[in-house]
Each structure stands twice: as structure tokens, then as C-alpha cells.
Amino acid sequence: DAGVTQSPTHLIKTRGQQVTLRCSPISGHKSVSWYQQVLGQGPQFIFQYYEKEERGRGNFPDRFSARQFPNYSSELNVNALLLGDSALYLCASSFSMVRDSYGYTFGSGTRLTVV
Amino acid sequence: TQLLEQSPQFLSIQEGENLTVYCNSSSVFSSLQWYRQEPGEGPVLLVTVVTGGEVKKLKRLTFQFGDARKDSSLHITAAQPGDTGLYLCVDGGGSNYKLTFGKGTLLTVNP
């Protein structure tokens, strides 16, 4: 079975531009979460979506937005890019929002570099 | 805001050595998880622990959860190069089920 798929794998953007990152969850998983991992840090929570509705938002500016589609795939959008937005963006999927022993399955991430 | 402190930040050892890494939380864990992240990859769940004082073993890895549910340790016996990676301590709880990560311990096992 395919795992969590993220695209693109790498991306270089210029300050002020906008970027869209994509995530396809494991088949049957209805929850998708987005995390930002700056070099040398642990991942930080950005958004969680379940059944196409936003269920949680981390401490990120309004330049960050996301959505989940009927097929449970998701997009993360970042507007007006800053140098500090350079990071590995991780998508994680799970079957439901119920806390269980299986945790989340992460994709390999999109490496965004802002120049 | 919950803070997870992991130590040491970096650890470089030779194959065959034993090691222990630590995680301390500023508040009680909802549930404790350990993940390992290899370069260029996303984190992979190793274990979930819920009960204070619980010890879980996964082959050569031993995970211990403190009685007060605010600290944890991960012990690796006879480390192998394949154990190389970033070990992340995580609180898997919260009302919106977000994961709260520590900064991690970067382990390098040299052949």
C-alpha cells in the first residue's frame, strides 16, 4: 500500500511569492495534519483537518492556509513567503481523530527553500 | 504551552555501545510517543506509552515512562549504524490531537 505522498519533494521560491504544497493520505485515512520542521528543531503543528473541516490550528500567521478535499487529500498554501519559512513541511495522516496507539504516519516532506 | 526538553542534543558513539537519551516535559504527558526520523524522511512512530511507570521494549530499544508521567528515557543496547537518526519525544495528546515535539536527539552510530 502507498504511504503518505507529498509533492513536490523540493521547492525553491523567492521572498514574497506564494507556494502550494500537496499531500495524499494513506487510503482510508480521513485526517491530515501539517507540520513545519525548521533545521535543528522538532516539527511544529500548523493545521489538522478531519472530514474536510479544520479541527486545529497552530501558532502560525494567517499567511498559512490549508484545505482538505472530498478524497481527503490536502493542500497547504503559504502566501508572501519570508526567508524564515524555509523548512521541511511534513504531512501526517491518520484514520480518525481518536487518539490511538498507532499514531500518525508521516510523509517524507517537502523541502521549501526561500531565497 | 508544553515544553519538551531532550538531552543530549547530539550523541556520537561506536557500534556496539549502549546509550540512553532523555525527555522531560514541563507538564504531564497526555500520551508519550517516541519517533525516529532519518535524514530526508518523515518521523516514524516507535512506541506509544500511556501509563506512568510503564516500560516497553522493542528489540534492542527500551522505553521507560516516569511515574509522574513528566519524563521518559530511551535506552538502546548494542547500537548499530542503522539506529542512526533523530529521536523525537512527542506528546500525542491534546484536545485537538496535535503532536507536540521536542527538538530531538541526533544519534550517530559509527561502524
CA A111 to chain B, closest CA, distance in angstroms equals 9
Query: Helices H, strands E: what count in chain B?
Result: 0, 11
pLDDT at A65: 97
Return the exposure string of B77-108: e unless at least 16 CB atoms fall within 10 Å of the residue's CB, then b: eebeeebbbbbbbbbbbeebbbbbbbbbbbbe
In sequence order, which residues have a C-beta less than 8 Å from that of residue A41 and are 6 or more positions away? B103
pLDDT grade for A12, boundaries at 50, 70 and 90: very high
Q: Which amino acid is at B31?
A: S
Q: Tell me which of A106 and B50 has the higher pLDDT.
A: A106
User: In B, which residues are within 8 Å of A4 by CB distance?
Assistant: 42
Q: Does B97 touch chain A (CB under 8 A)?
A: yes
Question: What pLDDT digit, counting tens, does each position of A24-52 carry?
Answer: 999 988 999 999 999 989 999 999 998 89
Q: Does A110 touch chain B (CB under 8 A)?
A: no
Mean pLDDT of B94-105: 83
Question: What pLDDT digit, counting tens, does each position of A72-96 carry?
Answer: 999 999 999 999 999 999 999 988 7
Report the percent of chain B where pLDDT is more than 90.
83
pLDDT at B37: 96
- Answer whether residue B73 shows pLDDT above 80: yes
Mean pLDDT of A62-70: 97
Q: Which of A50, A90, A101, A111 has the highest number of chain B CBs within 10 A, making it the mutation to test binding with B?
A: A101
pLDDT at A86: 98
- Answer whether residue B96 shows pLDDT above 70: no
Cα gap A89→B101, rounded to integer Å: 14
CA B35 to chain A, closest CA, distance in angstroms equals 10
Q: Does A48 touch chain B (CB under 8 A)?
A: yes
- Answer whether residue B6 shows pLDDT above 90: yes
Q: Which residue of B has its CA nearest to A90?
A: B42
- Answer whether residue B97 shows pLDDT above 90: no
- Answer whether residue A98 shows pLDDT above 80: no
- Answer whether residue A19 shows pLDDT above 60: yes
pLDDT at B98: 82
Are A109 and B102 in contact (CB < 8 Å)? Answer: no
Beta strand pairing status for A31-37 and A87-94? antiparallel
Q: Does A53 touch chain B (CB under 8 A)?
A: no
- Answer whether residue B84 shows pLDDT above 60: yes
- Answer whether residue B58 shows pLDDT above 80: yes
Q: Does B66 touch chain A (CB under 8 A)?
A: no
pLDDT grade for A16, boundaries at 50, 70 and 90: very high
Average pLDDT of every residue of chain A? 92
